[in-house]
Structure 1
Amino acid sequence: MLEINMDDVIATIQSVQPQLTAIAIALIVALVATVAVNRRTVANQGTRKLTHASVWVAAVATVAVAINLMLTGPLNSMITMATGTRYELSQQTIDTTNDLAVDIEREGITLLQNNDGMLPLTDTDSLNVFGWASTNPVYGGTGSGALSDAYDTTSLLDGLHMSGFDTNDELTGFYTDYATTRGDVSITNTDWTLPEPPVETYDDGLLSNAKEFSSTAMIVIGRVGGEGSDLPDDMNATDHTYDDESNKPKAANYTDNSSEYQDFPEGTHYLELSQSERDMIDLVTDNFDDVVLVYNGANTFELGFVEDYPQIRSVLWAPHPGQAGFAALGEVLRGTTNPSGKTADTFVRDLTQTPTYENFGDFPYDNVDEFGVESTRGIRTPAFVNYSEGIYVGYRFYETAADEGLINYEETVQYPFGYGLSYTTFEQSIGAVSYDEATGTISFDVTVTNTGTAPGKDVVETYVNPPYTDGGIEKASANLVAFEKTDELEPGASQTMRIEFDDDDMASYDYRDAKAYVLEAGDYGISIRSDSHSVIEESVISVPRTVVYDSEDNTHNGDVTVATNVFDDAAGDVTYLSRSGRFVNYVEATAAPTDFSMSDEDKATFTNLSNYDPSDSDDADEQMPTTGANNGLRLADLRGVDYDDEQWDLLLDQLTFDEMDSLIANAGYQNAAIESIGKIRLSDVDGPAALKDNFTGVSSIGLPANIVVACTWNKDLARAYGETIGDMAHEINVSGWYAPSVNIHRSAFGGRNFEYFSEDPTLTGELAAEQVIGAKSRSVYSFTKHFALNEQETRRNGQLCTWANEQSIREIYLKPFETIVKASGDAQALMGSFNYIGNVYSSAHEGLNETVLRDEWGFKGFLETDYFSGALYGYQDADQLIRNGTDAMLASTETTNHIDSRSATSLNAMRRATHNILYTTVNSWRYENGEPEQSTPIWQVALIGVDIALGVLLAGLVAISIRRFMKRRAGER
Structure 2
Amino acid sequence: MLEINMDDVIAVIQSITPQLIAIAVAVVLGIVITIAVNKHTVANTANRKLIHSTSWVAVGIAAIVAVALMLAGPLNSMITMATATKHELSQDTINSTNELAVNIEREGITLLQNNDDMLPISNPGNLNVFVWASTNPIYGGTGSGALSDAYDTTSILDSLHDAGFKTNDELTKFYTDYSTERGAITVTSADWTLPEPPAQTYGDSLVQDAKDFSDSAMIVIGRIGGEGLDLPTDMNAEGTTYNENSSDYKDFPEGTHYLELSQSERDMIDLVTSNFDNVVLVYNGANAFELNFVNDYPQIKSVVWAPHPGQAGFQALGEVLNGEVNPSGKTSDTFLNDLTNTPSWNNFGNFPYDNVQEFEVESARGVRSPRFVNYVEGIYVGYRFYETAADEGLINYDETVQYPFGYGLSYTSFSQSMGDVTYNDGKVSLDVTVTNTGNKAGKDVVEVYSNPPYTNGGIEKASANLVTFEKTKSLNPGESQTISISFDDDVLASYDYKNAKAYVLEAGDYGISIRSDSHHVIDSKNITVSDTVTYDTDSNTHNGDKTVATNVFDEANGDVNYLSRANQFANYAEATAAPTNYSMPDDVKATFTNNGNYDPTKSNNASDEMPTTGAKNGVRLIDLRGKSYDDPQWDSLLDELTFDEMDTLIANAGYQNAAIKSIGKIRLSDVDGPAALKDNFTGVSSIGLPSNIVLACSWNKDLAREFGQNIGDMAHEMQVSGWYAPSVNIHRSAFGGRNFEYFSEDPVLTGDLAVQQVLGADDRGVYSFTKHFALNEQETQRNGQLCTWADEQAIREIYLRPFETIVKADGDAQAMMGAFNYIGNLYASAHTGLNNTVLRGEWGFRGFVETDYFSGTNYGYQTGDQAIRGGTDAMLATTSTTNHITDKSATSVKAMRTAAHNILYTTVNSWRYADGEPTESMAAWKVAAITTGVVLGLLLAGLEVLAVKRFLSRRKKTVEVSSAQ
Q: 2 CA distance for matches of 1:825 and 1:970?
A: 79
Letter in 2 for 1:134: S
Letter in 1 for 2:883: N
1:462 and 2:435 equivalent?
Answer: no
What's the counterpart of residue 357 of structure 2?
A: 369
What's the counterpart of residue 81 of structure 2?
A: 81
Per the alignment, in what secondary structure is the counterpart of residue 501 of structure 1? Answer: strand
For structure 1, which runs of at least 5 residues remain unmatched after alignment? 238-249
For structure 2, which runs of at least 5 residues remain unmatched after alignment? 961-965
What's the counterpart of residue 767 of structure 1?
A: 753
Cα distance, 1:39 vs. partner? 4.6
What do residues 870-889 of structure 1 show as CA deviations (whole Å, max 9, x unaligned)?
12111111111111111000
Are the aligned partners of 1:678 and 1:934 in contact in 2 as well (CA < 8 Å)? no
Which stretch shifts more, 146-155 or 42-51?
42-51
What's the counterpart of residue 14 of structure 2?
A: 14
What's the counterpart of residue 924 of structure 1?
A: 910
What do residues 599-632 of structure 1 show as CA deviations (whole Å, max 9, x unaligned)?
0000001011111111111111111101111111
What do residues 17-62 of structure 1 show as CA deviations (whole Å, max 9, x unaligned)?
0000001111111111111223536854333322221111110110
Per the alignment, in what secondary structure is the counterpart of residue 64 of structure 1? Answer: helix
What's the counterpart of residue 386 of structure 1?
A: 374
Cα distance, 1:67 vs. partner? 0.4
Superposition pairs of residues 34-53 of structure 1, within 5 angstroms: 34-40=34-40, 44-53=44-53
Which stretch shifts more, 667-676 or 951-960?
951-960
Letter in 2 for 1:51: I
Q: 2 CA distance for matches of 1:171 and 1:696?
A: 40
What's the counterpart of residue 191 of structure 1?
A: 191
Q: 2 CA distance for matches of 1:313 and 1:217?
A: 11
What do residues 69-100 of structure 1 show as CA deviations (whole Å, max 9, x unaligned)?
00110000000000000000011100000000
What's the counterpart of residue 853 of structure 1?
A: 839
Per the alignment, in what secondary structure is the counterpart of residue 830 of structure 1? Answer: strand
Which stretch shifts more, 52-61 or 351-360?
52-61
Per the alignment, in what secondary structure is the counterpart of residue 788 of structure 2? Answer: strand
What do residues 505-531 of structure 1 show as CA deviations (whole Å, max 9, x unaligned)?
100000001000000010000000000
What's the counterpart of residue 422 of structure 2?
A: 434
What's the counterpart of residue 150 of structure 2?
A: 150
What do residues 199-240 of structure 1 show as CA deviations (whole Å, max 9, x unaligned)?
111011111111111111000000000000000011113xxx
1:277 and 2:277 equivalent?
Answer: no
Cα distance, 1:3 vs. partner? 4.2
Q: 1 CA distance for matches of 2:839 and 2:375?
A: 22
What's the counterpart of residue 576 of structure 2?
A: 590
What's the counterpart of residue 95 of structure 1?
A: 95
Cα distance, 1:959 vs. partner? 1.5
Q: 2 CA distance for matches of 1:538 and 1:905?
A: 56
1:822 and 2:808 equivalent?
Answer: yes
What's the counterpart of residue 963 of structure 2?
A: none
Letter in 1 for 2:113: Q
Are the aligned partners of 1:133 and 1:220 in contact in 2 as well (CA < 8 Å)? yes
Per the alignment, in what secondary structure is the counterpart of residue 784 of structure 1? Answer: strand
Percent identity between matched residues is 73
Residues 393 and 39 from structure 1, CA distance in 2 versus in 1: closer, same or farther, beyond 3 angstroms?
Answer: farther
What's the counterpart of residue 242 of structure 1?
A: none
What's the counterpart of residue 328 of structure 2?
A: 340
Per the alignment, in what secondary structure is the counterpart of residue 956 of structure 1? Answer: helix
What's the counterpart of residue 322 of structure 1?
A: 310
Letter in 1 for 2:515: R
Per the alignment, in what secondary structure is the counterpart of residue 38 of structure 1? Answer: coil
Cα distance, 1:2 vs. partner? 9.2
What do residues 619-676 of structure 1 show as CA deviations (whole Å, max 9, x unaligned)?
1111110111111100000000100010001100010000001100000000000000
Are the aligned partners of 1:462 and 1:481 in contact in 2 as well (CA < 8 Å)? yes
Q: 2 CA distance for matches of 1:2 and 1:512?
A: 38
Cα distance, 1:948 vs. partner? 1.3
Superposition pairs of residues 769-788 of structure 1, within 5 angstroms: 769-788=755-774
What's the counterpart of residue 614 of structure 2?
A: 628
Q: 2 CA distance for matches of 1:327 and 1:161?
A: 10
Cα distance, 1:445 vs. partner? 0.7
What do residues 263-320 of structure 1 show as CA deviations (whole Å, max 9, x unaligned)?
0000000000000000000000011111000000000000000000000000000000
Q: 2 CA distance for matches of 1:368 and 1:269?
A: 31
Per the alignment, in what secondary structure is the counterpart of residue 278 of structure 1? Answer: helix
Are the aligned partners of 1:41 and 1:47 in contact in 2 as well (CA < 8 Å)? no
What's the counterpart of residue 275 of structure 2?
A: 287
Per the alignment, in what secondary structure is the counterpart of residue 274 of structure 2? Answer: helix
What's the counterpart of residue 223 of structure 1?
A: 223
Are the aligned partners of 1:402 and 1:409 in contact in 2 as well (CA < 8 Å)? yes
Per the alignment, in what secondary structure is the counterpart of residue 684 of structure 1? Answer: strand
Q: 2 CA distance for matches of 1:789 and 1:951?
A: 53
Letter in 2 for 1:30: G
**Aligned partner of 1:414 among 402, 407, 429:** 402
Residues 569 and 211 from structure 1, CA distance in 2 versus in 1: closer, same or farther, beyond 3 angstroms?
Answer: same
What do residues 312-371 of structure 1 show as CA deviations (whole Å, max 9, x unaligned)?
000000000000000000000010000000000000000011100000001000000000
Per the alignment, in what secondary structure is the counterpart of residue 689 of structure 1? Answer: coil
Are the aligned partners of 1:6 and 1:188 in contact in 2 as well (CA < 8 Å)? no
Q: 1 CA distance for matches of 2:2 and 2:471?
A: 38
What do residues 116-175 of structure 1 show as CA deviations (whole Å, max 9, x unaligned)?
000001234111110110011000000000000111111111111111111111111111
Per the alignment, in what secondary structure is the counterpart of residue 21 of structure 2? Answer: helix
Superposition pairs of residues 141-540 of structure 1, within 5 angstroms: 141-237=141-237, 250-436=238-424, 438=425, 440-540=426-526
Are the aligned partners of 1:143 and 1:186 in contact in 2 as well (CA < 8 Å)? yes
Letter in 1 for 2:813: A
Are the aligned partners of 2:118 and 2:301 in contact in 1 as well (CA < 8 Å)? yes
Are the aligned partners of 2:811 and 2:847 in contact in 1 as well (CA < 8 Å)? no
Q: 1 CA distance for matches of 2:472 and 2:124?
A: 31
What do residues 531-578 of structure 1 show as CA deviations (whole Å, max 9, x unaligned)?
000000111111111000000010000000000000000000000000
Q: 1 CA distance for matches of 2:467 and 2:431?
A: 15
Are the aligned partners of 1:2 and 1:694 in contact in 2 as well (CA < 8 Å)? no
Q: 1 CA distance for matches of 2:224 and 2:891?
A: 46
Q: 2 CA distance for matches of 1:361 and 1:6?
A: 23
Q: 2 CA distance for matches of 1:464 and 1:916?
A: 38
Q: 2 CA distance for matches of 1:425 and 1:201?
A: 43
1:647 and 2:633 equivalent?
Answer: yes
Are the aligned partners of 1:460 and 1:530 in contact in 2 as well (CA < 8 Å)? yes
Q: 1 CA distance for matches of 2:644 and 2:2?
A: 31
Q: 2 CA distance for matches of 1:945 and 1:378?
A: 41
What's the counterpart of residue 246 of structure 1?
A: none
What's the counterpart of residue 721 of structure 2?
A: 735
Letter in 2 for 1:463: Y
What's the counterpart of residue 659 of structure 1?
A: 645
Are the aligned partners of 2:620 and 2:664 in contact in 1 as well (CA < 8 Å)? yes
1:672 and 2:658 equivalent?
Answer: yes
What's the counterpart of residue 857 of structure 2?
A: 871
Aligned length: 959
Letter in 1 for 2:372: F
Q: 2 CA distance for matches of 1:328 and 1:38?
A: 80
Letter in 1 for 2:874: A
Which stretch shifts more, 389-398 or 947-956?
947-956
Q: 2 CA distance for matches of 1:938 and 1:17?
A: 25
Cα distance, 1:958 vs. partner? 1.2
Residues 957 and 483 from structure 1, CA distance in 2 versus in 1: closer, same or farther, beyond 3 angstroms?
Answer: same
What's the counterpart of residue 898 of structure 1?
A: 884
Cα distance, 1:188 vs. partner? 2.1
What do residues 374-432 of structure 1 show as CA deviations (whole Å, max 9, x unaligned)?
12322211000000000000000000000000000000000000000000000000111
Residues 825 and 843 from structure 1, CA distance in 2 versus in 1: closer, same or farther, beyond 3 angstroms?
Answer: closer
Letter in 2 for 1:145: G
So what's the TM-score if we normalise by structure 2? Answer: 0.99
Instruction: Please provide the CA RMSD for this pair.
Output: 1.0
What do residues 759-807 of structure 1 show as CA deviations (whole Å, max 9, x unaligned)?
0000000000000000000010000000000000000000000000000
